[in-house]
Each structure stands twice: as C-alpha cells, then as structure tokens.
Structure 1
Amino acid sequence: MAQTPHTPPLGSAERRAILAAMRMKIKELHGLDVVFVVRAMNVSGGWAWVHTLPRSADGLSRYEDFYALLRKVKGEWRIAEIPCTEPDNPECIESPDYFRRLVRRFPGVPTGILPKDTSVR
C-alpha cells in the first residue's frame, strides 16, 4: 500500500534524525559544521528526498544546495545517494532523466517523495 508523503514537522525526532545524517555526511566530505535551511523534505515508506541550503552556524557562510536521497535502515537514516549538481553534466540532477535513472537504481523509492516536476511522477 502506498503511503502519502509527508514533511516531518520542525523539531520532530524524524526531522532531526534525517538532518543529522545529512550533517554528518557534509562533515565527512567537506569538514564543515552546518545548519540547514530546508527547502523540501518529503518522507514516505522509509525513504526521504531532501533539498537543503547549508549555512555556517553563525549564518555568515552559505554553501551550495545539498540534495540527498535517504533510506531508513534498521531504524537509522542513511544517505542512499547525493546527486551530482554540476551544470551540463548528463549524469547530474539537472539531466532530464536523472530521476528516472534514480528510480531504476533504487526500485523501492516511492516516486511521490521526488520533486513534482520530474518525469517519473
């Protein structure tokens, strides 16, 4: 049975856990401690698609948009994929068939969590 996607409310344990997984990944990849401005967070069936605007804790530094597909495994949110955001790269998020390929790579992803303007919905 398909679940309706939802956005976890501010301060909820689910939202904090998803953002903590993303924060840890940015720390691991770039050595940065960040806070997020959430542009979109759609969750359904143990999957989440998140679009954020990372910032430094003091708000003085802003970093490029950070997108992630996450999956809940054994009660813990884990990054499944971080899309490439390079312009003009056919493998990246701006590619017209990026989300179609994403769904093929991760067959269990509920298409309802993906951005509305994708061709897979």
Structure 2
Amino acid sequence: MPSVKNWVLPTLTAVVLLLGSTALPAVECVATPSPGSVERKAILDALREHSEDAVSREIVFVVGALKVCSGWAWLHALPQSPDGRDRFEDISALLRKTHGRWHVVEIPCSEPDNPECLGEPGYFARLKQRFPALPDAILSE
C-alpha cells in the first residue's frame, strides 16, 4: 500500500497549480462599445481632436469597425458631414487610453503598393512589433 507521503505532495501541487492558473485575470475585450456609450464617444472625440482642421471637429463618424481591449482601440470609420451629404475618405486609427483619456497613436497611410501602409501584408505584424502590448484581439488582417 502506498504511503500518504507519496500521493499527498503530488496532489497538493496539482491543486495549487490548478487554482493558480484559474486565478489569473482574464483579458476582457469589447468587440464594439455601444452607440451612445461614453467609451465610444471618447474614442471618436479623440479622433476628432487629433486633426487640427476645424471642419473635422464637425465630422460624424459612421463606425465600420471598433474593437477595444485592455486600453487599446482599433477603429475603422467613414467620416461624413453632419447632414450626410458630404462623405470623406474612410479612416482607420489605433488609439491608446492613458491617464483616463483616449489618444490617437497612429493613423496608417492607405497608399496602394506602399509596404508600410494599411492593407499590405504584414502591416498588423509590424504594428504589433512597434507596440508589443497591443492585444491581438483588436487586430484583423
């Protein structure tokens, strides 16, 4: 018959490891903050503030994609005039929340055939290299 010593230590070790792994905080990601939410408004306002153009402050952003996770946001939007008559070139942006405020970190270029621009293979991988803390959950090729 095996002694208590032979099974107690391995069993306790397994329990501690199991409890330790479940105690790690889960990363909660929001696919898209709800229209009208404080978070969504703050992100879109940061994008408006990023431009020094007075006209851009009046822009309405029709959100095509907005993913937020761990203080990072990736946005793709279709800017238009408040009355919807004038539409502008769509925009993508990477934003970071620091000290309780959203800030634009990068607005990628969209030139065709430029390997550094959005839409080129590996763009998101290079973005992730520059910002290692950037969660994969908000990025999509």
Tell me, in whole angstroms, the C-alpha distance in 1 between the residues paired with 2:32 and 2:116. 27
Tell me, in whole angstroms, the C-alpha distance in 2 between the residues paired with 1:41 and 1:9. 10
Are 2:65 and 1:36 aligned? no
Q: Which residue of 2 aligns with 1:81?
A: 106
Deviation digits for residues 2-53 of structure 1 (CA, Å, limit 9, x no counterpart): 3334311111100000000011223x15743310100000000000000000
Are 2:49 and 1:24 aligned? yes
The alignment partner of 1:101 has SS state of helix
Are 2:54 and 1:3 aligned? no
Contact preservation (8 Å) 1:7, 1:42: yes
Tell me, in whole angstroms, the C-alpha distance in 2 between the residues paired with 1:86 and 1:76. 30
Q: CA deviation at 1:99?
A: 0.4
Q: TM-score, normalised by structure 2?
A: 0.76
Tell me, in whole angstroms, the C-alpha distance in 1 between the residues paired with 2:114 and 2:103. 26
Q: Which residue of 2 aligns with 1:55?
A: 80
Runs of 5+ consecutive residues of structure 1 not aligned to the other structure: none
Tell me, in whole angstroms, the C-alpha distance in 2 between the residues paired with 1:91 and 1:29. 25
The alignment partner of 2:60 has SS state of strand
User: Please, what is the CA RMSD of the aligned residues?
Assistant: 1.4
Question: What percentage of residue pairs aligned between the two structures are identical?
Answer: 52
Q: Which residue of 1 aligns with 2:129?
A: 104
Question: Structure 1 residue runs of 4+, over 4 Å off?
Answer: none
Tell me, in whole angstroms, the C-alpha distance in 1 between the residues paired with 2:90 and 2:137. 21
Greater strand fraction, Structure 1 or Structure 2:
1
Higher relative contact order (CA 8 A, sep 6+): 1
2:94 to 47, 63, 69: 69
Q: CA deviation at 1:71?
A: 0.3
1:30–1:93 Cα change, 3 Å: farther
